[in-house]
Amino acid sequence: MSKRNSVISDKRALSNLEALLKIPLIKRFGVIGVSDMMSRRAVKFKPQSGNRFYSRLFGNVHCDVITKENSKTNNVILYFHLGAFVSGTTDTHREVGELFLLNSNADTVIVVDYKTAPKFKFPSAHNDALEVLNAVRADPEFSHSKIIAAGDSSGGNLALSLALMLKDNNQKQLDGLVLISPWVDFTNSGKSYAENFNSDPMFGYLCTPKDKEFVTLYAENADKTDKYLSPVFHNDYSGLPPIFIQACSNEMLLDDAKTVLNLAASSGVDAKLKLYDNMFHSFQTVTANAETSKKAWLDTGEFINSII
């Protein structure tokens, strides 16, 4: 993450990312591998004034909780971080979690430290998502809370899959979904995977062989068309809550986002896709202080506020 309070141009954000991806260490270990190493040495998080931070278990899953002091309604954002189901922890994504509070009227964000590959394979992370939600709902502190699930990239997969699992199990549905550059098709079947290769630094022209290896680990022994591993293969989205999807118009995962929009619309679900040009995958969480990132967070806050 860049410094919180500075604002940089979109062009500089992209240049910074490209420079990062060309570093020899990144080329050797992959951006995912280096991210995993960084997560183990993450600095202690200090919430902004007016917010309080603590860690706790929901069920058997470690989570970080950031909450506004003196909140009255205690509406919740359940946030699942990116990392291709391989890297990232709550250590590296607390600041992203707090951005949901800083840009909306939500009271509490719960950052879920779900299990990751290679030690844990599908459906470990998906089971953690459901376990956390059930534990949150069983907690008297949140018994009357509205709950919106949010996630970027692999985290977007978990948020959407969670809603689909609730639907299929006839459980109480979430109040909303925020999906940021969601990675929801492990078969990579969208045309944008090829068409946007040369405009996507993250998964395309600067992607390392190590990163290509990492992104296969979670689903190594699974059916890539499983309806929760790849929610684009779930044929019925009816009953899902309102969905707000954000994606970059030139990223390889663009068709993942478009397919979710089409599936939701064909099932009568209130869904909106907002595209941002000339950025990169999950730009608003990777470089939150870029000009367009600021706009994207305002758009996210507007959607959250429309629900809570």
Query: Which H helix or E strand runs over 55?
Result: strand 51-58
Where residue 89 falls among pLDDT bands split at 50, 70, 90? Answer: low
Query: Does residue 2 surpass a pLDDT of 50?
Result: no
Query: Which is nearest to 126 in space by CA: 97, 94, 169?
Result: 169
Look up residue 266 and give its two tokens: 């064909």
Where residue 32 falls among pLDDT bands split at 50, 70, 90? Answer: confident
- The set of residues, in sequence order, having a beta carbon less than 8 Å from that of 10 and lying 6+ positions away, is 278, 279, 290, 291, 292
pLDDT of residue 77: 98
Cα–Cα distance between 44 and 292 in angstroms, integer? 27
Domain assignments of the chain as residue spans, ordered by start: 10-307
Query: Does residue 35 surpass a pLDDT of 90?
Result: no
Per-position b or e across 270-283, b if 16+ CB within 10 A of its CB: ebebeebeebbbbb
Sign of CA dihedral 100, 219, 175, 291: positive
Q: Which residue, chain included where needed, has tokens 């844990």?
A: 120
Cα–Cα distance between 200 and 253 in angstroms, integer? 9
Where residue 37 falls among pLDDT bands split at 50, 70, 90? Answer: low
Q: Top-level CATH class of 10-307?
A: alpha beta
- The set of residues, in sequence order, having a beta carbon less than 8 Å from that of 307 and lying 6+ positions away, is 146, 148, 175, 176, 241, 242
Alpha-helical segments (H) within the chain: 10-21, 24-39, 90-102, 124-138, 154-168, 192-195, 209-214, 254-266, 283-286, 291-307
Q: What DSSP string runs through 254-265?
A: HHHHHHHHHHHH
Sign of CA dihedral 185, 186, 188, 193: positive
Where residue 6 falls among pLDDT bands split at 50, 70, 90? Answer: confident
Query: Does residue 10 surpass a pLDDT of 90?
Result: yes
Cα–Cα distance between 207 and 252 in angstroms, integer? 12
> In sequence order, what are the beta bridge partners of 55?
64
Cα–Cα distance between 9 and 13 in angstroms, integer? 6
229-276 pLDDT tens trace? 999 999 999 999 999 999 999 999 999 999 999 999 999 999 999 999
Report yes or no: 51 and 45 within 8 Å, Cβ to Cβ.
no
178-221 pLDDT tens trace? 999 999 999 999 999 999 999 999 889 998 888 888 889 999 98
> In sequence order, what are the beta bridge partners of 178?
150, 244
236 C-beta neighbours (distance < 10 Å), count: 13
Mean pLDDT estimate for the chain: 92
